[in-house]
């Protein structure tokens, strides 16, 4: 697969650099909104929308925004989109709004979004940035839905709010509580690590090579980065 | 310099553009959000008034409504939903009461409360089902639930307030006075010269045909309650002659009663002169006519339900009771009590201690116990029994 082809950018976010399971970003919404598949999916889609919009806009403005005020600019743009999404959800999906509560507004400080703005959108053209946002958003949504499915089915004997009659008497409440969320999350990370056979970036390497975004990083050290794809 | 100017301009522009974007989104979504919220508020109202359709908040500023009423909603079908904030066992009991156009309760819902979930909370649920279908004439007849008297009484009063509210809004008038206020108004009306300050007389003499005598604190006379059912109030002026127009027989009875009680003199009895008096007897007096007036300590809730004071307060219940020489209670009054507030404290209500009037040793057990406070009631009864025993000792004249 050719590096930086459009498809590889999308797939990169979903699998190899899955923001939740590989980059371990956005853990707060991951743990908080995965008690219910409906909520997890809504959270994922809301984040996806904000990611695409903010990536596109930041990419468009990447030559205009001065380096010294880039973080405030990103935050204003991200916060603006988050508020728009929040208002839209409040108006058209009040149930989801109730369920996500404060975590919806907290998308602003979701490090995935700021991370992609800083690492990708500010250095890449609009089209690629949009695809990166799409890929990362799908990856986030996918990871959330997987965790939520495990937690909800085992912990609440239901799927997206629909009760599973067979499991009704075998609820393991632990899974819908915070510790259960951490255990499921941790096991999934371990599983991904085992499946990719250590090909996923190693967190211990704090050099450029260890950086999950080394491949897209515009810094000079990229040339020395070990790339697997 | 140029660089910093550019930074400022870019950041401000981004902020401005984002603000415009937010303003536009808000303009689109705000009305929908308001509509949604109205719809969900409507859903809560529909729960207590299922046939209501849509609701509109009524303007209640022009009416004098019961103090518990906070909001009133008019429904499409002519019914009402009244929101009330009342005090059950603890304050902050908020409930909604739906009332059909025909004036019957369609449903109630407890929205917020601090009631004990297993006691008051459970009782409120039972009660919510019980009040469906009642109207003004039947609301009073609802029984409170034993063990949760305060919660259910508050619930019942709230429902009554809601029903009254609808009558008031419909142009009717309702007597919103409490029983105490009704009595005070009646006394004041009967004898305006007393300026509303009365002291209820504690009977130590047997009087016929008079239920209660209220003496004016300023000496302007007295008011006698002749028949509490019809609430006939007969006033007497400062020379204690009847001034309210009434039957001659009533006038004579009233005059006789007032003269009798005014002529009463008592002498204190030396308790040490009698053997076998219970230690609970604090004070005893004898009237010239031979009746006894005693102050007796009664056991309260008790530590083990025995003959003890209330464990939380360390206090007994103090009772004043007057008894005829042949052992019949003339009058009974709770002087002080430190029982559990809201439960045993009901022993200070006249509805409780007034039951002992006219009782003898054979009949004093035939009273209604205080709901949820059996031990307090039993302690009180024991004290009354002791009063009978004291009278026997006094009458036996057994000076040591």
Length of chain B in terms of residues written: 400
What is the 3-state composition of chain A as percent helix, strand, coil, each rounded to the nearest 5?
Answer: 70, 0, 30
Residue B344: closest CA among B384, B314, B318, B374: B374
DSSP A219: S
Residue with tokens 């609820």: A171
Average of per-residue pLDDT across A65-82:
90
Asked if A161 contacts A38 with a C-beta cutoff of 8 angstroms, the reply is: yes
A88-110: pLDDT as tens digits: 998 998 888 888 878 888 888 88
B3 vs A83: CB contact, 8 Å cut-off?
Answer: no
The answer on B358 and B283 residing in a single domain is yes
A161-216: pLDDT as tens digits: 788 888 778 888 888 888 999 999 999 999 888 887 766 555 444 455 555 555 55
The answer on B285 and B218 residing in a single domain is no
**Residues ≥6 apart with Cβ < 8 Å to B64:** B168, B176
Nearest residue of A to residue B34, measured between CA atoms = A91
User: DSSP alpha helices (H): ranges in chain B?
Assistant: 2-48, 122-130, 136-139, 149-169, 179-190, 248-263, 350-353, 374-396
* Angle, vertex CA A224, rays to CA A221 and CA A228, nearest 5: 120
Residue B77: predicted pLDDT: 84
Give this prediction's pTM: 0.53
The answer to whether residue B49 is domain-embedded is no
Point out the domain boundary residue: B169, B189, B221.
B169
Q: Which of A64, A68, A77 sits opposite B18 (nearest CB)?
A: A77
A30: left (phi over 0), alpha (psi -120 to 50) or beta: alpha
The answer to whether residue A156 is domain-embedded is yes
Q: Which of A73, A80, A90 sits opposite B11 (nearest CB)?
A: A73
The answer to whether residue B76 is domain-embedded is yes
The answer to whether residue A61 is domain-embedded is yes
The answer to whether residue B189 is domain-embedded is yes
Q: How many domains does chain B have?
A: 4
Please state, in angstroms and as integers, the Cα–Cα distance from residue A63 to each residue in A56, B21, B93, B274, following that order. 13, 22, 61, 110
The answer on B37 and B73 residing in a single domain is no
Point out the domain boundary residue: B242, B263, B284.
B263
The token pair at A89 is 């959800």
Residue A45: predicted pLDDT: 92
Residue B82: count other Cβ atoms within 10 Å of its Cβ. Answer: 30
Question: B53 to chain A, minimum CA–CA distance in Å?
Answer: 22
Asked if B226 contacts B207 with a C-beta cutoff of 8 angstroms, the reply is: no
Portion 35-64 of B in contact with A at CB < 8 A? 36, 40
Please state, in angstroms and as integers, the Cα–Cα distance from residue A69 to each residue in A112, B9, B14, B304, following that order. 20, 11, 11, 75
Question: A80 to chain B, minimum CA–CA distance in Å?
Answer: 6
Point out the domain boundary residue: B228, B263, B298.
B263
Residue A58: predicted pLDDT: 92
Q: Name the pLDDT band for A1 (thresholds 50, 70, 90).
A: very low
Q: What is the pLDDT along chain B (400 residues), one digit of tens a residue?
A: 678 888 899 899 999 999 999 999 999 999 998 888 888 778 878 888 888 778 888 888 888 888 888 888 888 888 888 888 888 877 888 888 888 888 888 888 888 777 777 777 777 888 888 888 888 777 777 777 777 777 888 888 888 888 888 888 887 777 767 777 778 888 888 888 888 788 888 888 887 778 788 888 888 888 888 765 566 788 888 888 888 777 777 788 888 888 888 888 888 888 888 877 887 888 888 888 888 888 888 877 765 555 666 666 777 788 888 888 888 888 888 888 877 776 777 788 877 888 888 888 888 888 887 777 777 888 888 888 888 888 888 887 654 3
Q: How far apart are CA B128 and CA B156, in angstroms?
A: 10
Residue B302: predicted pLDDT: 63
Length of chain A in terms of residues written: 229
Average pLDDT along chain A: 83
**Residues ≥6 apart with Cβ < 8 Å to B88:** B113, B115, B120, B124, B150, B151, B154, B155
The answer on B256 and B238 residing in a single domain is yes
Q: Name the pLDDT band for A83 (thresholds 50, 70, 90).
A: very high
Q: Parallel, antiparallel, or unpaired: how do β-strands B105-112 and B93-99 relate? A: antiparallel
The token pair at B242 is 């009847």
Could you tell me the residue range of the domain that residue B234 belongs to? Answer: 179-263
The answer to whether residue A229 is domain-embedded is no
Residue B286: closest CA among B167, B393, B135, B360: B393
Question: B118 to chain A, minimum CA–CA distance in Å?
Answer: 24
What DSSP letter does each residue of B281-302 carry, written as one string?
EEEEEEETTS-EEEEEEE--S-
Q: How many domains does chain A have?
A: 1
B279-303: pLDDT as tens digits: 788 888 888 888 888 888 887 776 5
Q: Which of B11, B32, B36 sits opposite A69 (nearest CB)?
A: B11
Burial B103-134, CB ≥16 within 10 A → b, else e: bbbbbbbbeebebeeebbbbbbeebbebbeeb
What is the 3-state composition of chain B as percent helix, strand, coil, each rounded to the nearest 5?
Answer: 40, 20, 40
């Amino acid at each position: 697969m050719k590096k930086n082809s459009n498809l590889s950018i999308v797939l990169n976010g979903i699998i190899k650099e899955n923001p939740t399971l590989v980059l371990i970003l956005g853990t707060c919404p991951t743990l908080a909104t995965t008690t219910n598949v409906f909520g997890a999916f809504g959270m994922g889609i809301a984040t996806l929308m904000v990611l695409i919009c903010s990536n596109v806009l930041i990419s468009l403005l990447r030559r205009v925004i001065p380096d010294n005020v880039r973080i405030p600019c990103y935050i204003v743009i991200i916060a603006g989109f988050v508020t728009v999404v929040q208002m839209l959800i409040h108006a058209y999906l009040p149930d989801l709004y109730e369920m996500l509560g404060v975590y919806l507004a907290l998308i602003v400080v979701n490090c995935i979004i700021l991370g992609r703005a800083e690492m990708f959108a500010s250095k890449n053209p609009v089209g690629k940035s949009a695809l990166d946002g799409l890929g990362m958003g799908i990856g986030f949504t996918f990871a959330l839905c997987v965790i939520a499915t495990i937690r909800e089915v085992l912990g609440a004997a239901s799927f997206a709010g629909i009760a599973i009659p067979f499991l009704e008497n075998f609820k393991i409440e632990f899974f819908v509580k915070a510790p259960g969320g951490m255990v499921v999350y941790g096991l999934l990370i371990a599983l991904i690590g085992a499946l990719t056979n250590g090909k996923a970036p190693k967190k211990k390497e704090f050099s450029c090579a260890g950086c999950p975004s080394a491949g897209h990083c515009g810094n000079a050290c990229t040339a020395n980065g070990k790339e697997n794809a | 310099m140029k660089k910093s100017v550019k930074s400022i301009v870019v950041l401000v522009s981004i902020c401005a553009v984002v603000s415009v974007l937010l303003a536009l989104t808000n303009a689109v979504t705000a009305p929908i959000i308001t509509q949604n919220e109205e719809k969900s508020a409507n859903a809560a109202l529909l729960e207590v008034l299922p046939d209501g359709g849509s609701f509109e908040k009524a303007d209640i500023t022009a009416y004098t409504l019961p103090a518990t009423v906070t909001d009133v909603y008019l429904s499409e079908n002519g019914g009402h939903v009244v929101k009330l904030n009342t005090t059950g066992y603890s304050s902050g009991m908020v409930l909604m009461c739906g009332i059909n156009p025909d004036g019957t309760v369609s449903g109630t819902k407890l929205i917020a409360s601090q009631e004990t979930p297993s006691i008051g909370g459970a009782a409120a649920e039972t009660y919510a089902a019980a009040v469906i279908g009642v109207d003004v004439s039947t609301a009073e007849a609802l029984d409170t639930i034993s063990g949760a008297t305060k919660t259910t009484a508050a619930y019942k009063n709230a429902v009554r307030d809601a029903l009254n509210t609808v009558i008031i809004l419909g142009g009717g008038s309702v007597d919103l006075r409490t029983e105490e206020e009704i009595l005070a108004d009646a006394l004041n009306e009967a004898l305006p010269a007393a300026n509303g300050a009365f002291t209820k007389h504690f009977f130590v003499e047997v009087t016929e045909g008079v239920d209660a005598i209220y003496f004016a604190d300023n000496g302007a006379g007295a008011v006698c309650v002749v028949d509490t059912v019809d609430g006939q109030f007969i006033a007497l002026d400062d020379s204690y002659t009847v001034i309210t127009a009434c039957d001659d027989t009533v006038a004579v009875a009233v005059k006789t009663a007032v003269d009798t009680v005014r002529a009463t003199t008592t002498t204190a009895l030396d308790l040490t002169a009698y053997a076998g008096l219970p230690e609970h007897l604090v004070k005893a007096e004898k009237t010239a006519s031979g009746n006894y007036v005693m102050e007796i300590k009664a056991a309260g809730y008790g530590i083990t339900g025995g003959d003890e004071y209330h464990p939380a307060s360390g206090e007994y219940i103090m009772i004043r009771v007057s008894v005829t020489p042949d052992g019949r209670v003339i009058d009974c009054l709770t002087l002080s009590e430190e029982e559990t507030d809201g439960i045993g404290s009901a022993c200070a209500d006249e509805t409780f201690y007034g039951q002992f009037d006219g009782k003898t040793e054979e009949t004093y057990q035939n009273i209604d116990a205080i709901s949820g406070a059996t031990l307090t009631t039993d302690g009180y009864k024991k004290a009354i029994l002791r009063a009978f025993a004291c009278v026997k000792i006094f009458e036996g004249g057994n000076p040591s």
